[in-house]
Amino acid sequence: MIDVSDLAYEYPSRRALDGVSLRVAPQTITALVGPNGAGKTTLLRCLAALAPPYAGTVTIDGLDTTAAPREIHARLGYLPDFFGLYDALSVRRCLTYAGWSHGIAPALTATAVETAARRVGLLDRLETPAGELSRGLRQRLAIGQAIVHEPKVLLLDEPAAGLDPQARRDLSTLLLALKDEGMTLVVSSHILSELEDYCSDMIIIEAGRIVGGKAIKVRDVERPRYMLELGTARSDLADFLKGAGIDVIEAGGFEIRSLDTMYLPGWRPATFNYWGTAVAR
Ligand code: ATP
């Protein structure tokens, strides 16, 4: 569905992508993982036919992004990392506006809007102004705007950023449902702990180059697993747990912030009440 071959992209002052090649199979969810400045946003913009390659090729659904950007925009939805919503407009009007922007005929727009609202779970909020939605629901509306034209491919730049654990779980459920309905998704993130909830593949990018990738095993729901919700920030928690002989499945090597989550196999919740509450999943 997505083919990238030897892609390079340059900003005036620096080369942001260099020799990037990758392939994304249809109806999968691929995680694009890397530290700040690695090139994730630039790569997503190249995939979305918003940034023309300096060298190499990007093909989406058989179409070259340089030769056919408009056809690709019709087949693709893109959620930028900092998306904007018209706060004064209702959910219905936001989705209608997005539908018209994507060229949906006026006679078909009402149905497209209700379908998108249903897919993102906002059918009961159609008349609510976007400015009155919670952060998680705003994220859903932004995704609704990106899928109102029924794209085959959906690109999401850090969609879980700023969401609380419950909203992140809801997001995982939504992304899996979109995949099951036939979509191909690429999701950039640095919150590694959630990726195995919904991603089938992972691509690791650093300093503009692909440095790794792997198929992610679908989470085994039978395996005992606990989620730790931190009430207080503790940047050395992962090291502390490792030192105590606890097998941390994913703490990511990133700073663990308040309310971030970690997954620990076979771990007894009572041991760590010192930091907060543990929830069995
Ligand atoms: P983050 O996780 O912080 O969003 P990222 O992995 O998405 O980072 P990019 O935003 O793609 O990384 O940036 C890749 C590199 O290109 C960085 O070194 C960044 O400083 C640089 N860059 C990004 N946008 C521009 C720009 N408009 N002009 C010049 N350099 C830029």
Per-residue pLDDT tens digits for 69-99: 999 999 999 999 888 899 999 999 999 999 9
Distance CA 134, CA 249 (A): 31
The β-bridge relationship of strands 153-157 and 2-11 is: unpaired
**208 CA to middle of ligand 1, Å?**
9
Determine whether the shortest distance from the Cβ of 73 to ligand 1 is under 6 A.
no
**Two structure tokens written together for 252:** 């990511």
Query: Span 170-176, mean pLDDT?
Result: 86
Q: Are residues 152 and 264 in the same domain?
A: no
Are 100 and 9 in a shared domain? yes
137-171 pLDDT tens trace: 999 999 999 999 999 999 999 988 877 777 788 88
In this structure, the answer to whether residues 267 and 200 fall within a common structural domain is no
How would you label 110-121 residue by residue, b for 16+ Cβ within 10 Å and e otherwise?
A: eebbebbbebbe
The three-class DSSP label of residue 153 is: strand
What is the number of domains present in the chain? Answer: 2
Q: Please tell me whether residues 260 and 191 are part of one structural domain.
A: no
Residue 271 sits in the same domain as residue 242: yes
- Give me the phi and psi of 278, to 5 degrees please: -115, 140
196 and 267 in a common domain = no
Beta carbons of 178 and 198 less than 8 angstroms apart = no
* Predicted pLDDT of residue 256: 37
Neighbours of 153 (CB within 10 A): 21
For the Cβ of 189 lying below 6 angstroms from any atom of ligand 1, the answer is: no
The answer, yes or no, to whether residue 274 has pLDDT greater than 50, is: no
pLDDT higher than 60, residue 192 = yes
Q: Which residue minimizes the CA distance to atom 25 of ligand 1?
A: 11
CA dihedral over 267, 268, 271, 275, signed as positive or negative = positive
Buried b / exposed e along 22-36 (16+ C-beta atoms within 10 A): bebeeebbbbbbbee
> At 200, which helix (H) or strand (E)?
none
Q: Note whether 211 and 115 are same-domain residues.
A: yes
266/174 Cα distance (integer angstroms): 28
193 CB within 6 A, ligand 1: no
CA 38 – ligand 1 centroid, Å: 7
Split at pLDDT 50, 70, 90, the class of 191 is low
Q: Which residue, 217, 250, 267, sits at the end of a domain?
A: 217
Residues 186 and 67 in one domain: yes
- Per-residue pLDDT, 40: 93
Tokens linked to 5: 């071959």
Q: pLDDT digits over 37-52, tens only?
A: 899 999 999 999 999 9
Q: 185 and 246: one domain? A: no
pLDDT at 193: 64
From 7, 9, 41, 81, give the residue whose CB has the most ligand 1 atoms within 8 Å, as the site to mutate.
41
Nearest CA to ligand 1 atom 29: 11
**pLDDT for 213-268, tens place per residue?**
665 544 443 344 445 555 555 566 666 666 655 555 444 333 333 333 444 443 33
Rounded to an integer, what distance in angstroms lies between the CA atom of residue 39 and that of residue 44? 9
* pLDDT at 141 (0 to 100): 95
Tell me: do 212 and 229 sit in the same domain: no
Q: How many residues does the chain have?
A: 281
Same domain for 19 and 142?
Answer: yes
DSSP strand pairing (184-189 vs 153-157): parallel
Q: Return the pLDDT at 271.
A: 29
Cα 142 to chain centroid distance, Å, stands at: 12
Residue 42 alpha carbon to ligand 1 centre in Å: 7
Name the average pLDDT for the chain: 79
The answer to whether residue 26 scores a pLDDT higher than 90 is yes
> Would you state the pLDDT for residue 255?
36
In whole angstroms, what is the distance from residue 84 CA to residue 97 CA? 13
CA-closest residue to ligand 1 atom 18 = 37
Q: Which of 192, 217, 242 corresponds to the end of one domain? A: 217
Q: Which domain holds residue 276?
A: 224-281
User: In the listed set 217, 243, 263, which residue is the last one of a domain according to the structure?
Assistant: 217
Count of beta carbons in the 10 Å neighbourhood of residue 214: 10
Q: Are residues 258 and 135 in the same domain?
A: no
Residue 40 identity (one-letter amino acid): K
Ligand 1 centroid to Cα of residue 52, in Å, is: 15
Please state the pTM of the whole predicted model: 0.77
Taking the C-alpha atoms of residue 214 and residue 193, their distance in angstroms, rounded to an integer, is: 15
CATH number of the CATH domain containing 171:
3.40.50.300
Q: What is the residue with the minimal CA distance to atom 14 of ligand 1?
A: 39
